[in-house]
Amino acid sequence: MNFMRKCLLMYILLGSIIKGFGQDKKEIIKLSVSEAQTYALQNNRTIKSAKIDINIATKQVKENLAVGLPQLNLAANYLHQFVIPELSFGSYLDVNSLPPTGYLTKDDIANAYKPSPSFPLGVRNNTTFDFTVSQLIFSGEYLVGLQATKVVKEMSEKALVKTEYQTKESVANTYYLIIVLGESLKVLNASLESVNQTYNDMAKMNQQGFNEETDVDQIKISWSNLKRLITSIESQKETSVKLLKFQLGMDFSQEIALTDSIQGFISEGNMQYLVSPEYNVVKSVDYQLVSAQTDLSALMLKREQSKYLPSIAAFYRHEEQTNKPSFNFAVKDVVGATLSFPIFTSFQRNAKISEARFNLNKSELNKEDARQGLIMEFETALNNYQTAYNNFTTNKESIILSKRVYDKTLIKYHEGVSTSFELSQNQSQYLTSETAYYNSILSLLNAKAKLDRILSSSK
C-alpha cells in the first residue's frame, strides 16, 4: 500500500513539472511584412529611445518656459556673534547724587556725572528667514531661447518619424531576405535529391560496368558542391532570422513564422513603381529635418543679437527674524526692480553674432544640398527599381530555359546519349541561373522597400 501511494505521489509530481514546462513554452508568433513592421514600431529599441528624446525635449520646453514665470525662494540664515557690539550715550548728570543742601561745588557736580548704560546692537544667536518672489519682465534672450527649444522638440518628433520609416525599411529588407533564402533552399534541396538519385543510379551502373568511375566521381563532386551551398544558405538564413528579431526588439529565443510569400510580393499589384510616381521633396521628413536645423541656426543668430537688449526683472522680499535685537533697523518688506544693460564687452558680442551668421549660411547651403540630394536619391531608387524589375523578368526566363536544358540533359544521360561532363555543366548553369534569379528577386524587393520609405516619408 505504501509503495502504491509513493508511486501515485511521484506521478502527480512529475505531471505537475511537465505541465509547468509546457506552460513556459513560448507561442510561435506569425508575422506578415506589415505585421512585422507594426511590431517593430512598438518594440524596436531605437524607436523607443527616439520617443524618450521627445519626452526630454518636451520637459526642456517646460523648463525654459518656467524661467519666465514667477519664482519663489526661501532662504534661512543662522548667525552667531562671539562679541556683540554695544552703543553707549556717554555720561549723564544724576541729580540724585547732588548734595541735598548747601552750595554746590565743582567737585559735587563732577561726582554727580554717572556713565549711561550701554545697549547691545545685536543678539548673540539669530535666524533670519527671507522670502523672495521674482518675476522676469523682459529678456530677449529668454524669448528666443524659448522658441529654440520648441524647434528642438519638433526636430525630435521628425527624427522619430524618420527612424520609424528607416526601421520599416530595414525590417522589410531582412524579411525579404529570409523568404528568398527559404525559397532558394527549397529548390536546392529538390536539386540535391535529384542529384543524389542520379548518383545512386550511376553507382549501380558502374558496379555493373555500364559507365566509368570518373562519371560517378563527377556527379559526386556536383553533389558535394550543392550540399556545401545549401549549408551556407541555411547558416545565412539563421543569421538573418536573428537580425530580424533584433530589429523587431524581440528576444532571440522567441519562435517566429513568416506568412508572406515571394509570389505575393512579385505579383503585378506590387509593381506600382514601373510608372514614375510623384515625389514632393519639400514634404520629405529628411528635408524638414534640415529645414528645422536651418530655423534653429536662425534663432541662434537672433539670440546673439538679442543680447544687445536690456533685461528687466522685478522682485518682492519679506524678511523675518526669530530673535530681534533691541535696535533693529532691518526693513521687513522690500519691492524693487533690476535692469541689466551690457554696454561694452570688448567686441565679444560682435564676434559671436558673426559666428552665428556663418553657421546660418552653412545651414542654408546644407539645406539646398539636402534638397538636391533627396531628389537624386529618389531618381536613383526609381531607376534601380525599374532596372531590378527588368533583371527579374530576364532571369525568370533564363531559369526556365536552364531548367529545361538540365532536365533534357539528365534524360539523355540516362539514355546514354549525353556525358557526365555535359550533365554537370548544365547543372552548374542551372544553379547559376537560379542564384541570379533569386538575387534579382531580392534586389527588386529591396528597391521597392526603399521607394516605399522615400515616398511614404514625403506624404
pLDDT at position 270, please? 60
Mean pLDDT of 240-247: 95
Which residues are CB-neighbours of 362 under 8 A, at least 6 positions away? 297
Residue 247 predicted with pLDDT over 70: yes
Domain assignment of residue 364, yes or no: no
* Number of domains within the chain: 1
Radius of gyration of the chain (CA): 44
**Residue type at 77?**
N
> What's the rounded Cα separation, in Å, for the pair 451 and 448?
5
Q: What is the pLDDT of residues 210-239, one digit of tens each?
A: 667 777 787 788 888 889 999 999 999 999
Report the C-alpha dihedral over residues 208, 209, 212, 215, rounded to 10 degrees.
-30
Report if residue 413 sits inside a domain. yes
List Cα–Cα distances, 388 to 37, 170, 179, 373, 456, in angstroms: 23, 18, 18, 22, 21
Q: Is residue 11 part of a domain?
A: no
Asked whether residue 340 is assigned to any structural domain, the reply reads no
Mean pLDDT of 10-37: 66
Q: What is the pLDDT of residues 392-451, one digit of tens each?
A: 999 999 999 998 998 888 888 777 777 777 888 888 888 889 889 999 999 999 999 999
User: What does DSSP say about strands 125-138 and 113-115: parallel, antiparallel, or unpaired?
Assistant: unpaired
Query: What number is the average pLDDT over the span 373-380?
Result: 94
pLDDT score recorded for residue 209 = 67
Strand residue runs (E) in 275-332 = 311-321
**Residue 306, helix vs strand vs coil:** helix
- Residue 54 lies in domain: 28-68+139-307+375-456
- Assess whether pLDDT exceeds 90 at residue 22: no
Largest CA distance in the chain: 172
Residue 23 domain-assigned?
Answer: no
Question: According to the model, what pLDDT value does residue 362 have?
Answer: 94
Q: Which residues partner with 125 through β-bridges?
A: 80
pLDDT in the model for residue 248: 95
Please state, in angstroms and as integers, the Cα–Cα distance from residue 45 to each residue in 100, 164, 207, 242, 248, following that order.
104, 11, 62, 15, 8
The helix/strand/coil state of 326 is coil
Does pLDDT of 380 surpass 70?
yes
- CATH value at residue 232: 1.20.1600.10
Cα dihedral across residues 40, 46, 50, 52: positive or negative: positive
Residue 357, in any domain of the structure: no
pLDDT score of 266: 73
Summarised one tens digit per residue, pLDDT across range 141-161 is 888 989 999 999 999 999 999
> Helix/strand/coil (H, E, C) string of 409-448?
HHHHHHCCCCCHHHHHHHHHHHHHHHHHHHHHHHHHHHHH
Q: What local confidence, expressed as pLDDT, does residue 384 receive?
A: 92
Query: Has residue 344 been placed in a domain?
Result: no
Q: Is the pLDDT of residue 19 over 70?
A: no
22 within domain boundaries:
no
| Predicted local confidence at residue 8, as pLDDT | 46
